[in-house]
């Protein structure tokens, strides 16, 4: 799993520059954020997703057929929602989507992430090498059509070869054909200089990143949002013993189309078409959900912080959390809160990171998971 080679050769850089012309579609409108990101409004029909051979004749679904209903918070807690950075004057025309322009540095980092592969806690049951990966998650293992949760947001420090992320994962399949999708935030020094950024990942063949990836660096995920591009800075972020902020993330399979949707609060960001997935994978529902944190570090480096950098037992305002945990029932297709007995916790290196489920007062704290730790693992 470890990759020490992070500096591309001159020949690779030439190839990356050629690839940039293919990845970055002709913009209809261009914006530059105060953080230096270039955002392009591109024709929704010409986005990167449709370079995928399975999507050549795909008909775009502009919004979910039905949006699953779950209890909404009407108290002050809702005011602590984080959103991806968005300038007031940013507005893309109808018929376009907003994407963060890919840079040469983005491609170099993508190549590095590709060399690491995609992993998840289910790998522990499948004899897959997860050297360098550390997880602290809550798991729900039963048939379902998706999940939701409020993912607490933090900024962290990681080295150039590391990442730390918090997300909701939905997976399906068996030991040989596991497929998964995830959404949340990631901190990677080369992607966003130690700031949290909006992130998705997916794979359609176990842990083989060649058929999946982060964000839209490879074709497959169909974006519909004109407001929130993947890879953009998330703000504001939580502070230790201070105000807490979170992303409201939902992943669910549309009852009509079978496409898997990613929603941020009430905004549809986009979807993974059903045609990307196998029958024994995510084509007809999912088998697992997990909520929590993941880090990666080369074995010769001490692993980075996860969550807030503090252990789960420190609790609210100190440890990272995902609360408001709900799953879509595979029969009624309605969100419900799993029982405490139905949620298992797993931390593969509890000396560095741990995880606890907590049942508190109120709808959003009746099911919550706290996780994280300072890191420092070297195995």
Separation CA 249–CA 65 (nearest Å): 18
Asked whether the bond before 236 is cis by omega within 30 degrees of 0, the reply is yes
More confident residue, 375 or 124: 375
Give, to the nearest 10 degrees, the angle between helix 10-23 and helix 104-116. 110
CA 325 to chain centre: 16
| DSSP, residue by residue, 38-67 | EEEEEEGGGSGGGGSGGGTTPPP--S-SSP
The model's pLDDT over 299-344, given as tens digits with 9 standing for 90+, comes to 788 999 999 999 999 999 999 999 999 999 999 888 899 988 899 9
pLDDT mean over 121-148:
80
The model's pLDDT over 112-126, given as tens digits with 9 standing for 90+, comes to 655 554 555 655 554
| DSSP, residue by residue, 126-193 | TT---TTEEEEEEEEEEEEEEEEEEEE-------TT-EEEEEEEEEES-SSS-EEEEEEEEE-HHHHT
| pLDDT value for 13 | 81
pLDDT mean over 32-57:
91
Burial-class residue 160 by CB neighbours within 10 Å (0-12, 13-18, 19+): exposed
The model's pLDDT over 235-287, given as tens digits with 9 standing for 90+, comes to 899 999 999 999 999 999 999 999 999 999 889 999 999 999 988 889 999 99
Separation CA 140–CA 327 (nearest Å): 9
Helical spans, DSSP H, in the chain:
10-23, 104-116, 189-192
Contact at 8 Å (CB) between 44 and 268? no
| CA nearest to 54, candidates 262, 202, 272, 208 | 272
pLDDT band of 187, cuts 50, 70, 90: very high
| CA nearest to 229, candidates 16, 32, 66 | 32
- Residue 379 above 80 pLDDT? no
Give the burial string for 78-88 (b: 16+ CB within 10 Å, else e): eebbbbbbbee
Separation CA 72–CA 184 (nearest Å): 19
């Amino acid at each position: 799993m470890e990759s020490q080679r992070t500096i591309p050769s001159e020949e690779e850089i030439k190839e990356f520059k050629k690839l940039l012309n293919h990845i970055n579609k002709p913009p209809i409108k261009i914006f530059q954020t105060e953080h230096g990101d270039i955002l392009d409004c591109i024709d929704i029909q010409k986005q990167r997703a449709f370079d995928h051979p399975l999507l050549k004749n795909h008909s775009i679904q502009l919004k979910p057929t039905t949006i699953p209903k779950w209890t909404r918070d009407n108290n002050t807690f809702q005011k602590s929602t984080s959103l991806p950075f968005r300038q007031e004057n940013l507005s893309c025309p109808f018929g376009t989507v907003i994407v963060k322009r890919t840079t040469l540095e983005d491609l170099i980092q993508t190549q590095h992430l590709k060399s690491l592969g995609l992993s998840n806690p289910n790998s522990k049951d499948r004899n897959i090498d997860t050297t360098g990966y550390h997880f602290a998650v809550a798991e729900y293992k039963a048939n379902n059509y998706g999940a939701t949760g409020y993912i607490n947001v933090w900024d962290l420090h990681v080295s150039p070869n590391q990442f730390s992320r918090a997300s909701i994962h939905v997976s399906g399949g068996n030991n040989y054909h596991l497929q998964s999708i995830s959404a949340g935030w990631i901190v990677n020094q080369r992607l966003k200089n130690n700031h949290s950024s909006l992130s998705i990942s997916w794979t359609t063949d176990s842990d083989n990143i060649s058929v999946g990836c982060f964000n839209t660096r490879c074709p497959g995920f169909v974006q519909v949002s004109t407001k929130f591009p993947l890879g953009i800075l998330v703000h504001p972020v939580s502070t230790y013993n201070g105000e807490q902020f979170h992303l409201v993330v939902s992943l669910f399979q549309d009852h009509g189309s079978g496409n898997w949707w990613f929603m941020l609060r009430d905004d549809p960001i986009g979807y993974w078409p059903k045609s990307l997935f196998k029958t024994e994978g995510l084509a007809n529902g999912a088998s697992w959900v997990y909520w929590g944190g993941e880090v990666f570090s080369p074995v010769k480096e001490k692993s980075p912080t996860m969550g807030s950098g503090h252990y789960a037992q420190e609790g609210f305002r100190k440890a990272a959390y995902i609360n408001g945990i709900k799953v879509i029932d595979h029969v009624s297709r309605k969100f419900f809160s799993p029982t405490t007995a139905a949620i298992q916790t797993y931390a593969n290196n509890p000396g560095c990171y741990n995880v606890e489920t907590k049942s508190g007062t109120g709808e959003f704290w009746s099911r919550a998971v706290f996780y994280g730790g300072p890191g420092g693992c070297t195995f």
